[in-house]
């Protein structure tokens, strides 16, 4: 149980970092995502005024976003200007990625319920 407590504490720490990183220090949205990391990471899609929109994990965030991402499509559908949307990233080491990334992501999503993390049910 104490191990689970440490995972929860780590999730809170990472979530705090993703939410409190100044907006201007987050990665801007664009076609190339030139400066976005290629390291295993947890990330947050944030709006300048609306705040947290989406939380996720990716082996290669740069590739994940250049290949398309539902959060960015939903930002477009909501009419958000690209200049008002940015990505905060928390790189994980290999051990964190392989052992904890799914648990950390799940805990953070449950704690914050970002609007773009909703599950869409499949129709019959």
- Give the pLDDT of residue 1: 40
**What is the full per-residue pLDDT of the chain (124 aa) written as tens digits?**
448 789 999 999 999 999 999 999 999 998 899 999 999 999 999 999 999 999 999 999 999 999 899 999 999 999 999 999 999 999 999 989 989 999 999 999 999 999 999 865 555 5
Q: Judge contact between 48 and 106, C-beta under 8 A.
A: no
DSSP states of 12-52 as a string? Answer: HHHHHHHHHS-GGGSEEP-SS-TT---SSEEEEEEETTTEE
Q: Report all structural domains of the chain as residue ranges with CATH numbers, in order of start.
A: 2-114 (3.40.1440)
The alpha carbons of the chain give a radius of gyration, in whole angstroms, of 14
Residue 108: closest CA among 57, 48, 66, 74 = 57
- Give the pLDDT of residue 121: 53
- Give the pLDDT of residue 115: 96
- Give the pLDDT of residue 118: 83
- Give the pLDDT of residue 119: 66
pTM listed for this prediction = 0.90
- Give the pLDDT of residue 5: 87
- Give the pLDDT of residue 39: 96
- Give the pLDDT of residue 3: 81
């Amino acid at each position: 149980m104490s191990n689970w407590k440490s995972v929860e504490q780590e999730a809170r720490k990472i979530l705090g970092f993703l939410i409190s990183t100044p907006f201007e220090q987050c990665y801007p949205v664009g076609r190339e995502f030139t400066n976005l990391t290629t390291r295993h990471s947890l990330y947050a899609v944030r709006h300048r005024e609306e705040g947290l929109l989406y939380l996720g994990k990716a082996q290669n965030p740069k590739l994940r976003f250049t290949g398309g991402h539902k959060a960015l499509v939903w930002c477009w559908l909501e009419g958000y200007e690209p200049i008002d949307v940015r990505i905060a990233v928390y790189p994980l080491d290999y051990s964190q990625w392989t052992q904890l990334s799914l648990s950390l992501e799940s805990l953070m999503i449950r704690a914050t319920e970002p609007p773009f993390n909703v599950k869409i049910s499949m129709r019959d």
